[in-house]
A and B are shown apart, each in its own frame.
Chain A
Amino acid sequence: MNTTMRALMGATALCAVGTVALADGHAKTVTIATVNNGDMVRMQGLTEDFTAKNPDINLEWVTLEENVLRQRVTTDIATKGGQYDVMTIGTYEVPIWGKQGWLTSLNDLPDSYDVDDLLPAIRGGLTVDGELYAAPFYGESSMVMYRTDLMEAAGMEMPEAPTWEFIAEAARAMTDKDNEIYGVCLRGKAGWGENMAFLTAMSNSFGARWFDEDWNPQFDSPEWAATVNFYVDLMNDAGPPGASGNGFNENLALFQTGKCGMWIDATVAASFVTNPNDSTVADKVGFALAPDNGLGKRGNWLWAWSLAIPAGTDSPEAAKKFVEWATSKEYLELVASKEGWANVPPGTRTSLYENPEYASVPFAKMTLDSINAADPTNPTVDPVPYVGIQFVAIPEFQGIATATGQQFSAALAGTTSVEDALANAQALTLDEMKDAGYIQ
């Protein structure tokens, strides 16, 4: 029996050792976690340019869908797991993580990087106490994209800066459900980065806010009721079926296949809907600023997907070299030379918008105007204690907004009423804020 046991133990150990031996590691490997958005996939395809310049650095890519990515990098950085050397994160995470001391400062990037060239609104969003904690890969605001042919057929004309009233009227006029033309496509999929990003930005233009100066939730305010009622009514009349499951990607597919009259979403989508390879409506798209209600705030947001280096990475120098390469002016030129100016990652550098070649891109001006019209430090009509336009830059926001997003998604699907959704949102936000110690 002893021999048997020993043999079995040996076999077990052998299996374990065998698999350990299979897992090996390189000295100078930079592991990059990124989103599966078009611009990032393109960056991955251009890896060779970087490795040719830095033959001693080996790049490994982890490309994931946005929600999975966010969950993975957040878990990893908060537990100091150390699986990634470069993380793709947004303007929401950077201030919070920077404050926690989880990120490496990028203030020592070389002069050739020209940090002053970064758009001030974007740079400001990535800086905490004077330290730049992430380099913007692309920046975006939101705007109205619309079908010029359908607008004409409806006998209307899109102003450069429309109001919500105009959007609602145009959407209802363009809708032709028998032919699968839906006047307006808006985000409805639950998630703080999906429907809540849109609704929060929209609510700003309706004069609503998440919290008053004492962090009391405001979902019981008439402004929020007006926002959500307007949204649900509009989508019921002029939105596509299944809207409560549509996020950015789903709406993009709908717009590209010619099923949406208007779409209010990220400016970065402009290059996808005007690209004839992917879009059946490429030559019939017009752009306008996000709508307002005459209260002084527009319903557009500000976001930048950025590259950050976690504190405590094994190879900070190599990681920094990569971040510098991917967000440099040279990278923009590289993409332009291979794929044309329209496909350059937008919204990060002033010099790009001063470039006459880029100015001929149809959506360049509207993108810059939209970004400049956004002010994360002063997002609402009434004063608030937080920064962030389509989010509130506190750690608790993700959880709260995901839960409230579920409520509004259900209201859109018609499984709860708008009143109940707002009341539930108010109750759960209040609970969380008390729990987290903001309200005594």
Chain B
Amino acid sequence: MSTQHSRTAARAMISPAVMLLLAWMLIPLCMTLYYSFRRYRLLTPERQGWVGFGNYENFLTNPAFFHALTNTLLLVGGVLIITVVFGVLLAILLDQPIWGQGIVRILVIAPFFVMPTVSALVWKNMFMNPVNGLFAYGAKALGLQPYDFLSQAPLASIIGIVSWQWLPFATLILLTAIQSLDSEQMEAAEMDGAGPFSRFFFITLPHLARAITVVVLIQTIFLLSIFAEILVTTNGGPGTASTNLTYLVYAESLLNYDVGEGSAGGVVAIILANIVAIFLMRMIGKNLDA
């Protein structure tokens, strides 16, 4: 269908975006690579020099690195599972005929508009605070000892906060997908005596596969670099219990002011992100090819 003319035009049109992204990727990436092989501490700039793979060695042998890696996976995985499972349930619920559907939808999507810093501050202080938080009041009203969420279960608490932020996103995509489900097919299945569960597993869920893929892809992109929520609520602690890879790189480069090791950490994170990207690409390739 395409002529030589339109091919050239296409290349010309694609190029600004690609060039800009290339520049955005390559210039900082090259600088990061450069610094990752150098000793560069912000506070003692006079002691610069080449250190070979020293920064990488320090970063990878840091006991916090392994923690950060597991925490990153737990955080991404946990939020994905919660948002997809509850998103599907919520989408099915909202798909039913109800009164005030528009208003309920407004209520459900609201968290998506809240800045991550604001939602972290609100959850940390007004809900999870063990003395003055709302959950503590609830526990006391029931005669229970208030639970100290952010120091006893820091990672789970953060997963909860982040899930709250992303649940609307998952719900909306899944809701749109469900609405496009062929109702005749459902009715036919019902006629054939299929119960609600088998209808869900054999009709609804397969129909949603593509939408779920989109949710997983987009959310993974954002969840890999979760940072503000951790900074505001736990500062990665106690210990390194809620430090993810992004936060660890932050700690190296802006708390330790060790630009060299921070850069090495950045390069490591980029490599890991690309592994995830390749993995996702495989998945998308199967599921998204329309």
Contact = CB atoms under 8 A, between A and B. Distances in A.
A260 B244 CA distance: 34
B238 A190 contact: yes
Given A1-B9, A402-B251, A395 B239 contact: no
Given A75-B254, A180-B131, A399-B258, A1 B12 contact: yes
Interface in B156-210: none
B129 A242 contact: yes
Interface stretch (A204-212, A299-307, A407-415): A407-415
B152 A245 contact: no
A78 B45 contact: yes
A190 B242 CA distance: 13
A410 B152 CA distance: 10
Q: How large is the interface on A (under 10, 10 to 19, 20 to 34, 35 or more residues)?
A: 35 or more
B239 A410 contact: yes
Nearest to A2: B12
Contact of A410 (B16, B47, B146, B238): B238
Interface in A47-79: 71, 74-75, 78-79
Nearest to A65: B232
Contacts of B131: 180, 240-242, 254, 259
Majority-rule SS of B interface residues: loop
Interface in A399-440: 399, 402-403, 406-407, 409-410, 412-413, 415-416, 424, 431, 435-437
B146 to A, nearest CB: 6
Given A78-B257, A79-B42, A242 B239 contact: no
A431 B42 CA distance: 18
Nearest to A5: B12
Contacts of B145: 241
Interface in A354-380: none
A345 B45 CA distance: 35
B146 A189 contact: no
Interface residues of B, number: 37
Contact of B151 (A242, A253, A398): A242
B58 interface: yes
B239 A407 contact: yes
A399 B256 contact: yes
B146 A241 contact: yes
B29 interface: no
B256 to A, nearest CB: 3
B79 interface: no
A281 interface: no
Contacts of B241: 410, 415
B52 to A, nearest CB: 14
Interface string A123-158: 000000000000000000000000000000000000
Interface of A: 1, 5, 8, 12, 71, 74-75, 78-79, 96, 100, 180, 189-191, 240-245, 253-254, 257, 259, 395-396, 398-399, 402-403, 406-407, 409-410, 412-413, 415-416, 424, 431, 435-437
Given A241-B145, A395-B257, A415-B239, 10 more contacts: A1-B9, A12-B16, A180-B131, A190-B238, A240-B131, A245-B234, A254-B131, A399-B257, A406-B238, A410-B238
